[in-house]
Structure 1
Amino acid sequence: MTRLVNADRPTFNYPDRGATDRRPLPAGYHHLHHRTRIGRGQAVFETAGAAVTTFHAHRTSGMRIRTDYGAVRPGSRVEVGIGFGPLRITAPCQVVWTAYEPTRIGFAYGTLAGHPECGEESFVVYLDADGTVWFEITAFSRPAAWYTRLAGPVVPVLQRSYARLLGHTLRKLATAARSAGY
């Protein structure tokens, strides 16, 4: 796969790398926490985890994603295309942590210089002891560009809407795979 521009010299635009894997989230940011029930069972967990860590869920939700590698790994560079047509914004990020564990699969990426926001966002699929599968997004962010500062309270509303859309998309992908016998 083609290396992304400046992939060897990322410049994070926030100091709190890895904070989505810890609590509490850092002060001075808008915090987002959204949880969606995906389904039940090991197959749903594995399908949802793969859809998250390969960006299949993001792409199916309408985002344009460019990445250095097929599946996420720490240090991999990601460019997220936000918007439509001439209003599309490219948002550079880098994966700061991953989880490939028996009951937790996911990752977080942090924003790089040039991203319209600064902060971090994690996308994690969990398998509870009772077999329930959950998808959870945790984020902290604040404006880093004039247009996101101007948008003010609209940005958190859009972020929450996208979290809901991504959870709904992931549920559909996992359900479709289970129905198909995967």
Structure 2
Amino acid sequence: MVLLSSTRPSPKEQKDCISNSGTFNYDIKYGGTTVKPLSILKEDKELSKDGFLINHSKTLVGAGSDAYEKGKTALQTWMHFGLSWAFVDPKTPIENGVKFCACVKEFIPWLGILLQVAYVNETRNPKLGVSSFGFGGGTLRGHLLSSKERFSVEMDEEKQVWYEILSFSKPAHPLSVIGYSYCSPI
């Protein structure tokens, strides 16, 4: 189900949309795929054979433990969706199985599209001084795309803090084919 609204969707509209949602709209064999590193996904012939495009972006956001903790908090409160044209209710918990509505302004209407948190990963290695926090989500039936995505923040051995988005997707609705032509594989 897709929520269409001429105004910014209210929390009630989002909850109603979520309560009518179904299951993931992609083959179960792709369930944990975004946990894998980008290099492995690039070699996965099944993804391209099934029509998926891989998208990836990794950006340096700071350095040190404070920057890492701020990045982690930002992900946990959906600040990566805190845009004038997109949002997720910041009270939505990042926990396995939680369904959520990502609201996006598309020309005149707002679209509320349904996803579900598929996994949450956090690792810390005090000896090496590295840490990472991330979660993956997947689209639900009714979403315009069939996709999996991972959002993560990582502090490497040099104490650099990176924000990364990794996804693979393909159109799941005839309307999405039109806009999808602007996407390109990495």
TM range (shorter): 0.7 to 0.9
2:127 corresponds to 1:99? no
Match of 1:131 among 154, 159, 163: 159
Report the CA distance between 1:53 and its aligned residue. 2.0
The one-letter code matched in structure 2 to 1:47 is: K
Distance, in Å, in 2 between the alignment partners of 1:14 and 1:62 is 26
Distance, in Å, in 2 between the alignment partners of 1:86 and 1:112 is 24
2:83 corresponds to 1:71? no
Distance, in Å, in 2 between the alignment partners of 1:137 and 1:80 is 16
CA RMSD of aligned residues (A): 2.6
Report the CA distance between 1:131 and its aligned residue. 0.2
Match of 2:70 in 1: 47
Greater C-alpha radius of gyration: 2
Moved over 6 A (4+): none
Distance, in Å, in 1 between the alignment partners of 2:104 and 2:24 is 19
Identity, in percent, stands at 24
Unpaired segments of 5 or more residues in structure 2?
1-10, 125-130
Distance, in Å, in 1 between the alignment partners of 2:20 and 2:72 is 27
Match of 2:31 among 13, 17, 20: 17
Relative to structure 1, is the Cα distance of residues 62 and 106 closer, same or farther in structure 2, using a 3 angstrom cutoff? farther
Give the TM-score, by structure 1 length: 0.75
Give the TM-score, by structure 2 length: 0.74
Say whether the 8 Å CA contact 2:152–2:163 is kept in structure 1.
Answer: yes
| Residue correspondences, number | 157
SS at match of 2:69: helix
Match of 1:171 in 2: none
Q: Deviations for 1:112-164, whole angstroms, at most 9, x for unmatched residues?
A: 0111100111100011011000011100000011111122422x26x99xxxx
Say whether the 8 Å CA contact 1:72–1:98 is kept in structure 2.
Answer: yes
Pick the structure with more helix per residue: 1
Unpaired segments of 5 or more residues in structure 1?
161-182
